[in-house]
Amino acid sequence: MRFTLRIWRQKNAQDPGRFETYEVDGISPNTSFLEMLDVLNERLIKEGKEPVAFDHDCREGICGSCGLFINGRAHGPLPNITTCRLYMRHFRDGETITIEPFRAKPFPVIRDLVVDRSALDRIIQAGGYISVNAGSAPDANAIPIPKPVADRAFDYATCIGCGACVAACKNASAMLFTAAKVAHLALLPQGQPERRQRVQKMVAQMDLEGFGHCSNTGACAVECPAKIPLTAIAQLQRDFIWAHFTPDPYAR
Amino acid sequence: MSFTENWGKSCGTTVGLPATPKGSRRPLQQVRELRERFWREVRVPGTGAEFNQNLEKALRVADFLELGELMIVDAYHREESCGCHLREEYQTPEGEALRRDEEYAYVAAWEWAGENEPPILHKEPLQFEFVKPTVRSYK
Ligand code: SF4
Ligand code: FES
Alpha helices in chain B (DSSP H): 3-12, 21-41, 53-77, 101-104
User: What single string gives the DSSP state of each residue in B74-91?
Assistant: HHHH--S-BTTB-BTTSB
Output the average pLDDT for chain B.
85
Residue B9: what pLDDT? 65
CATH code that applies to domain A117-245: 1.10.1060.10
Q: How far is A157 from chain B (nearest CA, A)?
A: 30
Q: Max Cα separation, chain A?
A: 66
- C-beta of residue A88 within 8 angstroms of C-beta of residue A31: yes
Q: Pick the closest to residue B70 from B18, B121, B23, B22 (CA basis).
A: B121
Superfamily for the A3-111 domain: Beta-grasp domain (3.10.20.30)
- pLDDT of B109 higher than 80: yes
pLDDT in tens, B49-62: 999 999 999 999 99
- State the DSSP code for B19: B
Residue A203: what pLDDT? 98
* SS3 assignment, position A12: coil
Confidence of residue A137 (pLDDT cuts 50, 70, 90): confident
pLDDT in tens, A78-116: 999 999 999 999 999 999 999 999 999 999 999 999 999
Which residues of B fall within a CB distance of 8 Å from A114? 51
- Angle between helix B21-41 and B3-12 (nearest 10): 170
Which residues of B fall within a CB distance of 8 Å from A49? 45
ipTM over 0.85: no
- pLDDT of A42 higher than 60: yes
pLDDT in tens, A1-31: 999 999 999 999 999 999 999 999 999 999 9
A11 CB near a chain B CB, below 8 Å? Answer: yes
| Greater model confidence, B11 or B106 | B106
Q: Sketch the domain layout of chain A as residue ranges.
A: 3-111, 117-245
- C-beta of residue A174 within 8 angstroms of C-beta of residue A211: yes
Cα B82 to chain centroid distance, Å, stands at 15
Residue B1: what pLDDT? 46
Residue B21: what pLDDT? 59
- pLDDT of B31 higher than 90: no
Q: Sketch the domain layout of chain B as residue ranges.
A: 2-125
Of A107, A177, A182, which is best to mutate to test ligand 1, by the most ligand atoms within 8 angstroms of its C-beta? A177
Strand order in the sheet with A96-101: A18-24, A3-9, A96-101, A68-70, A73-74
Confidence of residue A70 (pLDDT cuts 50, 70, 90): very high
**pTM assigned to the model:** 0.84
The radius of gyration of chain B from alpha carbons, rounded to an integer in Å, stands at 19
In this prediction, what percent of chain B has a pLDDT beyond 90? Answer: 54
- pLDDT of A163 higher than 60: yes
A40 CB near a chain B CB, below 8 Å? Answer: no
Residue B19: what pLDDT? 57
Taking CA atoms only, the protein residue closest to ligand 1 atom 5 is: A161
Q: How far is A18 from chain B (nearest CA, A)?
A: 18
- C-beta of residue A32 within 8 angstroms of C-beta of residue A38: no
- C-beta of residue A80 within 8 angstroms of C-beta of residue A222: yes
CB contact under 8 A, A12 and B51: yes
- pLDDT of A171 higher than 60: yes
In this prediction, what percent of chain A has a pLDDT beyond 90? Answer: 90
Residue A64: what pLDDT? 96
**B2-125 architecture in CATH?**
Up-down Bundle (1.20)
Residue A251: what pLDDT? 76
Residue B16: what pLDDT? 55
Do the bridges between strand A3-9 and strand A96-101 make them parallel or antiparallel, or are there none, so unpaired?
parallel
pLDDT in tens, A116-134: 999 999 999 999 887 888 8
- C-beta of residue A148 within 8 angstroms of C-beta of residue A154: no
Residue B11: what pLDDT? 58
Q: Pick the closest to residue B76 from B126, B134, B14 (CA basis).
A: B14
B60 CB near a chain A CB, below 8 Å? Answer: no
- pLDDT of A206 higher than 70: yes
- pLDDT of A55 higher than 70: yes
- Angle between helix B3-12 and B53-77 (nearest 10): 10
- Mutate which of B41, B44, B47, B53 to test chain A, going by most A C-beta atoms within 10 A? B53
- pLDDT of A227 higher than 80: yes
The values of phi and psi at residue A48, to 5°, are: 75, 20
* SS3 assignment, position A175: helix
- pLDDT of B37 higher than 90: yes
Find the closest chain A residue to B49 by CA distance: A12
Listed by number, the residues of chain B in 29-58 with a beta carbon closer than 8 Å to a beta carbon of chain A are: 43, 45-46, 50-51, 53-54
The total of other beta-carbon atoms located within 10 Å of residue A84's CB is 23
